[in-house]
Amino acid sequence: MAYEDDLGLFDWSSAESVARVVRYDARGHGGCECGHFEDRAYRWSALVDDMLRVPGQGPFVAGGASMGAATAIYAALRAPRRVQGLVLVTPPSAWETRTAQAEAYEAAARMVERRGMPSYLKALQSVGQPRILAEELPEASSIWLRHLRRMDEKVMPSILRGAASSDLPTREEVHRLVVPTLILAWTGDAAHPVSTAETLAELMVMSELHVADDLAGVRRWPELVRDFLGGICQWEE
């Protein structure tokens, strides 16, 4: 949450006029103190347990960015009667495009184990940011690295391997989800390709997709989220 706040792109508070917004740090991330050292504890399908518990009992709209988007999809499959809508921001690489990203996470896990977090962070300095951030918000890289530096070095390899062994549900499983879905993607990000968002939009019959080509487009996302959630509330009435 602190990283999102510092980055200043995802102002979820705009949705508070139409919904009660509940935010939390995923296990092993941000301010979440978590003693899990098993890779499987950080797989997207395992993170669903936290997403279903945090909002309390009853129906809710599940959402998140990147890993959070994947977790939300799994939550909808796990608890279809509770998840009344989905907000999927920058869905990650999946299916055929997942291999390269998985290999990168595994290599990163080995680097942290053998050489420590400082070496990993130094290596990340040469990794390109999403095009929109690199061109219009260059400080995003230093913000990202600053927050990564705070993560637990002993847990980091497990987190990375959990991501490496994760993928979205099969296309058939995704197609079975009939729930209002807002998909927000941006161009120029190999780790979160538009192709994933487009495929999700094709598979999910109640979805709408918005693709941002510049920072101005990204800054419109909070308004899109608010309008989407407001529409769900009206539909339920």
Domain ranges, ordered by start, for the chain = 2-7+59-236
Check pLDDT > 80 for residue 33.
Answer: no
The CATH class of 2-7+59-236 is alpha beta
The predicted model gives 96-109 an average pLDDT of: 94
pLDDT single digits (tens) 125-134: 888 789 999 9
The β-bridge partners of 83 are 60
* pLDDT at residue 235 in the model: 46
Name the E strands within 15-155. Answer: 60-65, 83-89
Helix, strand or coil for residue 212? strand
**118-134 burial: b if 16+ Cβ within 10 Å, else e:** eebbeeeeeeeebebbe
pLDDT band of residue 3 (cuts 50, 70, 90) is: confident
Please check whether residue 168 is in contact with residue 75, taking contact to mean a CB–CB distance below 8 angstroms: no
Query: Whats the size of the chain, residue-wise?
Result: 237
* pLDDT at residue 232 in the model: 84
* pLDDT at residue 71 in the model: 96
Mean pLDDT (the chain) is 90
Number of CB atoms found within 10 A of residue 45's CB: 20
Check pLDDT > 70 for residue 193.
Answer: yes
